[in-house]
Amino acid sequence: MSKPLSGMYAALMSAFDDHGEFSPERQSALNAFVLRQGLTGLYVGGSSAESGLLETDALLSQQEVVARDAVGSGATLIAHVGAPSLAASLTLARNAARLGYNGLSALPPHSYPFSDGEIFSYYKSLAAATDLPLIVYEVPIRTGRPLPLPLLIEILDLPNVAGIKYTSTDLFKLTMLKTKRPDSTYFFGFDEIYLAAGALGVDGGIGTTYNILGRLYAALNAAVLAGDLETARRLQAVSAEFVMGLLEVGVLPGMKASLRACGVECGAARAPLASQIADADAKMNALVARASIRDWLG
């Protein structure tokens, strides 16, 4: 039996107009592109959406556009509502519940060195704010520190907390979590090594590069579930090839350039995010044109 919300999700990106403001029209075009890729659903308003650089009103608008566009698609929608301010998180969470989202997720509160007790209190308040299942988040690369195992277990035990998005290379810690709380839902967040976590029995993935290679990740997960290691390794190698090229440009600017190469205009990444090379579009055009990658494009 599958666990709540399990499956493969694109960490949906945000679309901006030529002036850097949220564009509902461009967001709809991106939504349609990603929804065609055979994934379980969309993870809306997370780091891949540049949420830390967006106004709350823009994130509320994005939630509404995605909910409207997903009608009839069968896609499961998870709204990321994490913000340093609990008040902003609660506003986003209640709006997602009103719009009919299937679940919530949230980074731990960031921007300040919050204590373990403050982080626990944040998640307790957020979990109680709606009836939606909540996916919490371990992501040391974003928060600056890993959360202690006992704290994560305490958070997973909160009412309404269904599971965790685990974006860390500490796979032993992941194993300990799964052993101690086997009924929770576990998502893995590093696209380029999904197979490693898949072999440990995670329940799905949530990733940035799923926006463009969703078909690949759906097939990779299917190979993992079927025990087809040879196919899984081959597909993971394609993912790693794409990510290696992406890192030369910068993840979010590079993703926007790669989407542009596929005919989906999302605007530029919001400052201070910027491409690491001058010819980002040419680099990503060449990357997505490679036969190994082109065959998987959404």
Torsion over CA: 202, 8, 156, 140 (sign): positive
Q: Which of 137, 166, 186, 194 is flagged as catalytic?
A: 137
Is 101 a catalytic site residue?
Answer: no
Q: Tell me the C-alpha distance between 235 and 225, whole Å.
A: 14
* SS3 state at 49: helix
Contact 16, 270 (CB under 8 A): yes
Longest pairwise C-alpha distance within the chain: 50
Q: Tell me the C-alpha distance between 22 and 174, whole Å.
A: 36
Is 165 a catalytic site residue?
Answer: yes
Give the β-pairing of 7-11 and 41-44: parallel
Dihedrals phi, psi of 248, to nearest 5 degrees: -65, -25
Nearest by Cα to 5 from 35, 51, 42: 42
Q: Which of 43, 122, 165, 186 is flagged as catalytic?
A: 165
Query: Do you know the residue count of the chain?
Result: 298
Q: Tell me the C-alpha distance between 108 and 143, whole Å.
A: 8
Give the single-character DSSP code of 293: H
Q: Tell me the C-alpha distance between 4 and 154, whole Å.
A: 19
Cα 283–chain centre separation: 24
Nearest by Cα to 201 from 210, 188, 214, 189: 188
Active site amino acids: 137, 165
